[in-house]
Amino acid sequence: MLVPQPRPGNGPLPESVTHRAPVVVTISSGRIRGEHDGRVEVFRGIPYAAAPTGSHRFRPPARAATWSGVRDARAYGPAAPQNPDPVLEQMFGLPPSAHDETSCLTVNVWTPQSGSGRRPVLVWIHGGGFLTGAGSDPVFDGGRLVQQHDVVLVTVNYRLGAFGFLHLAEVLGHRYASSGNTGLLDQRAALAWVRDNIATFGGDPRNVTLFGQSAGAFSVVAHLASPGSAGLFHKAIVQSGSGEGAATVDRAGEVTRAFLDELGIAPRAAADLLTRPTADLLRAQETVTRAWQARGDGVGLAFLPLVDGTVLPRTPVDAIGAGAARGVPLLLGSNRDEGRMFTVLGPGSVGDLPEDALVAVFAAHHADPGRALDAYRSVQADASPAGLLGALIGERLFGGPTRRLAEAQAAGGGAVWRYRFDWSSSAHGGRLGACHSLELPFVFDNLDVAGVDRFTGPRPPQELADVMSRCWAGFARTGDPGLWPAYEPEGRHVMLFDRVTAVAKDPDRTLRLLGP
């Protein structure tokens, strides 16, 4: 996720779009009115599930209510409940997304023409650490991607944080057995909505590509491993994700106890969570999140998909290695300097790090920290302590897991293509490099969206956006991105996306040989 939505909620349309031609279609819940925005048809804020409040809080999504008449679908729905994201505020100086628990479960659809054709469908799961984000963020606007490549794009809102990933089975019983994966079940319900309705928008329900970035990519991998999601999509794209970032029941139970303690609720009175105001839960979520981040273990996230034995029978990378995604072509990759997002921006940014502190951090992850530091120094353009810390973060959270996931898919008999995004931002004095999330405006071909240049720097290369968006759309169409060979453990071919794109063989060999 890059920027929050500029016009949240379902308020009146601005004057600049009121003249746009209306488009009315019929879906399973009733008739909706979208618009032709001068490029493509757009339908926003379409409910795919019932309000996740009252008896539905922390429970699987229920079917959306039907309506009579024509429902307006020209304004985005609100985001799922979330706290402000300080990184986004620092990057763009924009206010947080407006959110509302009652009406957050919506999708947005961009299509060249409704009711015509059977186009490839891309379904986008946004990132944000399972805590923030929305399918309405401007960088995800599908107009250019859809217009240029004749595809249909769907973006999804889903429950976040405690609302989507708080494990309550042990305190509220079997009716909440799936509460630790409610956010994943929301995404699955959105995929079912696509299956049932996308032909109305000119999409092919038999050719659906699920793609996402960061937490959205973790989600895509979870669906690849989840038996209940099988058949709802046919290809997958994983941008800066992992098949290793899933919680155990013990870990999730620890988060739940901390959450209840923060609210002053005894486990025997956990039913109070069902009626507590949204704001109370968000305050507790913020405290628990900060405490978990301070621990620094794993991916540092308190709320994650849960290996519960049902929605997720096992850790996703293990399931995929055993063939769970054999029939789903997979395109995946990471950014060369993922970790610089976290060392340069936000409250966790670092400046000068003492050498002994750097050695201690590396010792927590490598038995021989001196050897590891030498290896990182040999491949890093920025070998300062902050640069090396960023490199370690990026490799632990995204680079290594991406490589291991590619190898698991190949071992499981599935087709897989791997890329690395290497183009460096000139923003923030060039310190961001090719950091986490930087590929997003290139994939969506939205380099001209307001605020993006504060992240990319001025004049980012349009040619790179042309190449990446074409590869993503081509993969959605045929299951092959073109331009480079499939990944296999012998050759380890990786496409490097930069101002000049090139295929490299085993480009991260030095770090790979250090081991996990």
Residue 477: which pLDDT band, with cuts at 50, 70 and 90? very high
Query: Of these residues, 214, 226, 229, 334, which one is catalytic?
Result: 214
- Rounded to a whole number of angstroms, the CA Rg of the chain reads 22
Residue 382: which pLDDT band, with cuts at 50, 70 and 90? confident
- Taking only the tens place, the pLDDT of each residue in 10-30 is 333 333 344 589 999 999 999
Between CA 38 and CA 204 the distance in angstroms is 23
Between CA 516 and CA 513 the distance in angstroms is 9
Does the pLDDT value for residue 336 go beyond 90? yes
What is the model's pTM? Answer: 0.94
- Taking only the tens place, the pLDDT of each residue in 193-228 is 999 999 999 999 999 999 999 999 999 999 999 999
Residue 299: which pLDDT band, with cuts at 50, 70 and 90? confident
The verdict on whether 338 is a catalytic residue reads: yes
Between CA 152 and CA 468 the distance in angstroms is 17
For residue 202, what are its two tokens? Answer: 């000119």
Residue 5: which pLDDT band, with cuts at 50, 70 and 90? very low
Mean pLDDT value across residues 94-118: 91
The verdict on whether 436 is a catalytic residue reads: yes
Alpha carbon separation from 68 to 49, 58, 72, 74 (Å, rounded)? 17, 29, 12, 17
Residue 9: which pLDDT band, with cuts at 50, 70 and 90? very low
Instruction: Report the chain's mean pLDDT, rounded to a whole number.
Output: 92
Residue 4: which pLDDT band, with cuts at 50, 70 and 90? very low
Mean pLDDT value across residues 399-411: 97
- Taking only the tens place, the pLDDT of each residue in 215-265 is 999 999 999 999 999 999 999 999 999 999 899 999 999 999 999 999 999
Would you say 151 and 136 are in contact if contact means Cβ atoms under 8 Å apart?
no
Mean pLDDT value across residues 34-38: 94
What per-residue confidence (pLDDT) applies to 515?
A: 81
- Taking only the tens place, the pLDDT of each residue in 141-173 is 999 999 999 999 999 999 999 999 999 999 999
For residue 43, what are its two tokens? Answer: 């339908």
Does the pLDDT value for residue 34 go beyond 50? yes
Mean pLDDT value across residues 59-83: 97
What per-residue confidence (pLDDT) applies to 255?
A: 97
Does the pLDDT value for residue 478 go beyond 70? yes
Query: Of these residues, 126, 223, 234, 436, which one is catalytic?
Result: 436
What per-residue confidence (pLDDT) applies to 417?
A: 98
- Taking only the tens place, the pLDDT of each residue in 84-99 is 887 776 665 456 778 9
What per-residue confidence (pLDDT) applies to 350?
A: 61
For 32, phi then psi, to 5°, come to: -130, 150
Where would I find the beta strands (DSSP E) of 360-510? 416-421, 493-497, 502-505
Does the pLDDT value for residue 296 go beyond 80? no
Domains and CATH numbers, the chain: 15-213+248-303 (3.40.50.1820), 319-512 (3.40.50.1820)
What per-residue confidence (pLDDT) applies to 262?
A: 97
What per-residue confidence (pLDDT) applies to 8?
A: 33
Query: Of these residues, 338, 395, 407, 439, which one is catalytic?
Result: 338
